[in-house]
Structure 1
Amino acid sequence: MRLPALFLALAAAAPPPAGADPAEIAAALAAEPAVPGAVVGWITEDDSARAVAGVRRAGAAEPVTEGDLWHIGSLTKSMTATLAARMVEAGLIGWDTTAGELLGAEHPDMAEAWRGVPLEAFLRHASGMRANLSLFGTLRVGQGPRRDYVARALASPPEGERGGYLYSNAGYVVAGAMLEAAGGAPWEELVAREVFAPLGLASAGFGPPEGDQPQGHRGALFGGLRPVPPGPRADNIPALGPAGRVHLSAADMLRYLRAHLLAEEEYLSAGSWARLHRAEGPGGYAMGWVEADGVLRHSGSNTMWFAQTRLYRAEGVAVFVAVNSGLIERVRPAVEAAADAVFTDAGG
C-alpha cells in the first residue's frame, strides 16, 4: 500500500547500525524520508573514507555519486576567516583593522557604531551587527552587487553589544567587503586564489551546483520534497558569498578539513591556526567554528541543503556530512547521528 506523502515526511529513519561503515551510514541517512541524497566522510593525517547514498533529486532515479558537489552554506564562514588569516600574514590587513579604516570612504553613511569595529570582531560574531538585513532590505539588494548589501548593513544600528555574541551573516558580508578593499579584488577571486588553489580544492565554486549534479530541496505543500533547480531561487543572494555560497565535492571538503585538523604550517603559521581555532566570548565561537566539548564544529544551510563539519583535534579526525535537503529540523537528528557514527568508524 502506498503511504501518504505527509506520513512519509514525518516518519523517522532508523539510526546507523552499531559498527557501521561509511556506506551503511550514508544508506541509513538517505533512508530518512526528508533526505533525497547524502554524503558522509572522515579524514585523518594518513587515511580517509567517504560514501554516498540516495538520489540527486526527489522523485528521480538518478543516484548521487562520489564526485558530486554539495552546497555547504555557512561552512563557507571558516573559509572566509581562513582567507583573512592568509591576508593578515601577507601584510594586507590586520586583525584589528577597522571597518571605518577600510570602508569609511566608500560608505560615508556608515553608522558611527561600526567605524571602530575590527575585522576579527566581525569574524567572531562579536560586532553587534544584526543577523541579516530585513526582508525588505534583502529584496532591494536582490541579485545586485555586494556593495549595496554592505551599505545597508553599515547604515543600520547595532542589534547587540560589541564583544557579545550575535550570529551574523551580515557581519561576515562586511568582513568579506573589508577583505575585498584590502586585497583589491572580489571576495570570490580572493578566496579562490588564497584558499581553493593552494589547498587543491579544484571542485570548489559559488552558488548552487549546476548541470548534472544534486539539487537542493524544500518541503512540498502537502508533504514530501520539492527539488529547486539551479537559478536565483536556488541559493542565497550573491552578496552573501562570504557568509555561505560555496559548493564543492566531499573529497575536496575533507581535504580542506585536513588542513585545519593538522594546522598545516606550509599554509599558515601555527599562530594563525591557533587564532582561527580559539573560541572566545559567550558564544564559544572561534572564526567559522563553534567549540563544544573540545570539538570544533559548524553547520551550514542555504535552506535547501544541510551540511555539518567536526574537527576532533585531540583524536586527529575530521568529519563531514551533507544532505541535499533544507528541512533542517527534520534532518538534523539524522545528520548528527551520522556524524557520530562516522567518527566511530574513523576510530574515534
Structure 2
Amino acid sequence: MTSSAFPELLPTTQRALLHRIATAQTEGRAPSLVGAVMRDGQLVWSGARTCVEGHAPDADTQYRIGSITKTFTAVVVLRLRDEGLLDLGDPLEKHLPGTGAGDVTIAQLLGHTAGLAAETPGAWWERTPGTERPELADVLGERPGPHPAGRVHHYSNPGYTLLGSLIEAVRGEPWAEVVRREVCLPLGMHRTSAQAEAPAAGGWAVHPWADVMLPEPSEDLGLMAPAGQLWSTAGDLCRFAAFLAEGDERVLSADSVREMRTPSAPPGAGDWDAGYGLGVQLARRDGRTLAGHTGSLPGFVATLWVSVEDGVAAVVLANATSGVAVGAVAADLVRITADAEPRIPEPWRPLPGIDQALLALTGPWYWGTYAYVLRVAAEGAVELSPLRGPGRGSRFRAEEDGTWTGLDGYHLGETLRVVRREDGSVSHLDLGSFVYVRQPYEAGDAVPGGVDEGGWRGL
C-alpha cells in the first residue's frame, strides 16, 4: 500500500521497495514488518508484511522503537541549551548533583563519551520493570565509569537515564510529558507515546532454530525510559526524520539539528563507516551519509535513517526480538528510492538583493599559494572553498557585527573578518590568523613573515 500527499513514487520504485521489505520479513522470520519512505518532508510510500492473513499493520500501527527514544531525549537537551538553561560543556553535577557519575559533561553523555557502563547492574533492565531500579544509584551501580571520560566512544544506556533525569530536574516535569509537549505535538506526532496505544503490535521472540514464537514482556522502564521507552509508528517517525533533516523552529533550529548530526567522537579502530553525533547515529552506506538511530527492545527492532543530501528517509519496524537486520533494510529503502528517483534540484534563482561591498569581496583569494574563492550565499552567508582540488573549505553565517562564523569543516566556529586599511580599502581576510590576500605573496601585502624582496623568479 502507499500513502502520499505528494506525487507517488513510480510503480517500479514501489515494487522494489515492497520486494525489499517482503524479503526482509520472510528471511528474518518476523511476525510483521512495516517500512515507510519520506521524500522532501512527506510520507510517499509505506508497505507491510505479516504472518497473519488479513491483518497487516500499516504506517499508523505502533511498534516499540527502543533506542530511537534517545534521539528524542537529545532533542530536549538541545532545547534546554538553546534556551540558555544549560551549556553542553557543563558538568552534569551542576544541574543534577549527587549522581555519582563524576565530572562527566552533558555533551559527553549525549555523544556516549562519558565513559559510563553500557548497561545497568542487576537484572536485564529491558525485561524487568523499572520499579526494580527506583534510584539513579540502582542504574549506575558502584562502578559507573569503566573508561576515562572524554577519551572513547562507549555506548551507554545509563548515560541517557541521567539525561532524562537532567530534563526532569531543569523542567520540573516528567520526562515523558516534556517529550510529548515539546517534540511530538509540535511535529504532529500524535501516535508517539510512552505507553502503547492501539493499534499496536505485540512483541514476539522467534525461536532461532524452529518456526515457532512466544510473546515477550513489555515493561515500563522507569528511570531507564529516556534510553528506550517510546512507542511510535512509521508515519510519525517519517515526520521525525523530516525534522532531523531540516529542523523546525517550533522544536529546534536547523543549526542545532545540524549540530546533532555532527560526529562528536572519533570512530573506533577499523570502524570508519559509523559514528555518533549528539543523540544521533551516523553511517556511511552506498556512498551516502545517513543519520538517525537504530533501536531494539525484547520483541521489537526499529531503524530510522535519513539522507539529508537526497531528501530521503526510511523507517523499518518489526515485532521480533532478533533476526531482521532493520538497519540494513532501512538503508536499502533509502538507496532504492534515491537511485531510482534522484532528487530534482530547485530552479536557480538570483538573490533578491546584495550588498555591493559584499559583492566586491567575491572571487579569488590566496592563502599562501593556495587558491580559494569566496562566494555569496543566501541571507548574507558566504562560502570560502578551494578553487580546485581538496582543501579547507567552509560555509560561514553572517553576524550583526559584520563578521562571519564558520558552520562546518575545518573552520567550524571560527571567525572570518575583513581587515581594512586606513583609507577603507580591503587589505585582507583574516580567518583564525590565516591571512587571505588578492594575489599570492604580493609585495606590501599583510602576509605573515613578509615577502622576499626579490619577488617571483625562475631558475
TM-score by length of 2: 0.63
> What pairs with 1:169-184 in structure 2 (closer than 5 Å)?
169-184=157-172
CA deviation vs aligned residue, 1:292-314 (integer Å, no higher than 9, x gap): 33322421111321111112111
CA shift in 2, pair 1:235/1:226, >3 Å = farther
> What pairs with 1:231-242 in structure 2 (closer than 5 Å)?
233-235=217-219, 237-242=221-226
From 225, 233, 256, give the equivalent of 2:240.
256
CA deviation vs aligned residue, 1:76-131 (integer Å, no higher than 9, x gap): 11111111111222233321232212222xx3xx43xx332111111100100001
Matched, 1:83 2:76: yes
Q: CA deviation at 1:154?
A: 6.6
Q: Contact 2:25–2:324 (CA<8 Å) still a contact in 1?
A: no
CA shift in 2, pair 1:297/1:331, >3 Å = closer
Identity %: 22
Matched, 1:280 2:264: yes
Q: Distance in 2 between matches of 1:329 and 1:22?
A: 16
- What SS does the corresponding residue of 1:189 show, helix, strand or coil? helix
From 26, 29, 32, give the equivalent of 2:24.
29
Q: Which residue of 2 aligns with 1:219?
A: 206
Q: Distance in 2 between matches of 1:251 and 1:94?
A: 33
CA shift in 2, pair 1:45/1:146, >3 Å = farther
Higher helix share: 1
CA shift in 2, pair 1:346/1:308, >3 Å = farther
Q: Distance in 1 between matches of 2:341 and 2:165?
A: 39
CA deviation vs aligned residue, 1:254-284 (integer Å, no higher than 9, x gap): 0111011112345323432222111121232
Q: Contact 1:34–1:330 (CA<8 Å) still a contact in 2?
A: no
Q: CA deviation at 1:137?
A: 8.2
Q: CA deviation at 1:18?
A: 8.1
Q: Distance in 1 between matches of 2:96 and 2:219?
A: 27
Q: Which amino acid aligns with 2:80?
A: M
Q: Which residue of 1 aligns with 2:48?
A: 53
Q: Contact 1:307–1:320 (CA<8 Å) still a contact in 2?
A: yes
Q: Distance in 2 between matches of 1:77 and 1:166?
A: 15
Q: Identify unmatched segments of 5+ residues in structure 1.
A: 1-16
Q: Distance in 2 between matches of 1:73 and 1:35?
A: 17
Q: Distance in 1 between matches of 2:138 and 2:315?
A: 35
Q: Which residue of 2 aligns with 1:291?
A: 282
Q: Which amino acid aligns with 2:56?
A: P
Q: Which residue of 2 aligns with 1:269?
A: 253
CA shift in 2, pair 1:225/1:291, >3 Å = same
Q: Contact 1:217–1:324 (CA<8 Å) still a contact in 2?
A: yes
- What SS does the corresponding residue of 1:135 show, helix, strand or coil? coil
CA shift in 2, pair 1:342/1:76, >3 Å = farther
> What pairs with 1:1-348 in structure 2 (closer than 5 Å)?
20-45=15-40, 47-55=42-50, 62-104=55-97, 107=98, 110-111=99-100, 114-136=101-123, 138=125, 142-144=129-131, 148-149=135-136, 152-153=139-140, 155-163=142-150, 164-207=152-195, 209-220=196-207, 223-228=210-215, 233-235=217-219, 237-283=221-267, 284-293=275-284, 294-328=289-323, 337-338=332-333, 340-344=335-339, 347=342
Q: Distance in 2 between matches of 1:214 and 1:116?
A: 41
- What SS does the corresponding residue of 1:347 show, helix, strand or coil? coil
CA shift in 2, pair 1:92/1:228, >3 Å = farther
Cα root mean square deviation, aligned: 2.9
Higher strand share: 2
- What SS does the corresponding residue of 1:156 show, helix, strand or coil? coil
Q: Distance in 2 between matches of 1:139 and 1:308?
A: 18
Q: Which amino acid aligns with 2:262?
A: R
Q: Distance in 1 between matches of 2:236 and 2:329?
A: 23
Q: Between Structure 1 and Structure 2, how many residues are aligned?
A: 320
Q: Distance in 2 between matches of 1:170 and 1:309?
A: 22
Q: Identify unmatched segments of 5+ residues in structure 2.
A: 1-11, 268-274, 344-459
